[in-house]
Structure 1
Amino acid sequence: MNRRQALSLALILLVLAAGALFVTDRYAKRQALQQEEAYLQSELARSSCVTNFDTSGTVGDEKATVVDRSLDGRWVRVSHPYWYDTDQTHADTSSEAVYYVGLNSVYRVNGESPGPVC
C-alpha cells in the first residue's frame, strides 16, 4: 500500500469513527420519538381510568425537531399522537415533550403528562 492509499484509508476510518462518536440529528429524532411512544404507552397503561388507548392518532403525525446541539448529544422537541378512552370520554390528541439524546442515554427533559387525571 502506498502513502496515498494509506492516507485515504486513514481518512475513511477517521470519518467512520467520528460517526460512532457523535449523535446525528437523524438518530436523535428517531430515538426521541421511540422513547416518547414508550413513555405514552407506559403512562396510559398505568392510568386507572383509561379503558383503551393507542399511540397512533387521527389528529396529527409524529414530529421531531432538533432544538439544540452539543458535541455529545441533541435536544429534540417531539410531538406524538395518541388516543384514549375512559368510561366518560374519548380523547384524540398529541403529546409535546423535549428529550436529550446522548451517546449512551435518552431521557425526557420536560413535557406534559398524557391522559386524564383520574
Structure 2
Amino acid sequence: MGTSCRREGKWTKPDAQWVKANWDASISAAMKKVGMGMVIWDEEGEIMAYLCTAVDCLQDPTIGEALALRRAMLLCEELGFLKVILEGDSQVIVKAINRKEDLYTESMEMWWMRCGLDDH
C-alpha cells in the first residue's frame, strides 16, 4: 500500500488514483474519552467515506491522535484503498510517521489492553 502522511495549512485534493484520509482526535480528560473522526476524499474532492467513533479510558492526547491515525489507516484498508495520503494536524504523530519512528511503546500496549484494543 502506498501511503504518505502530512500536515498542511490548506487542504488540497489528492492526485489521480489516490485518496486522502483526513483524521483528527478530540480528548476529554475529565471523561477519559477520545472522539475520533476521519474523512476519505477522492481526486475530485468528493467524500468517499467517513467515520466518527469514541473510545473510553483515554488520558494521553498523543495516544489519542495515534489511535485516530490507526483507525483511519484501518478504514482505508477495509475499503481496499491502496494509494492513500494520510493527513492530520498532530505534528508529533505526523513527524514520527514521516521519520518512520516506532510509536508503539510499553505504556501504549498497556493502554491498548486496558481498553480492549489489543488487536494490533
Q: What TM-score, normalized to structure 2? A: 0.28
Greater C-alpha radius of gyration: 1
Which structure features the higher share of helix residues?
Answer: 1
Q: What TM-score, normalized to structure 1? A: 0.29
Q: Which has the higher contact order (CA 8 A, sep 6+)?
A: 2
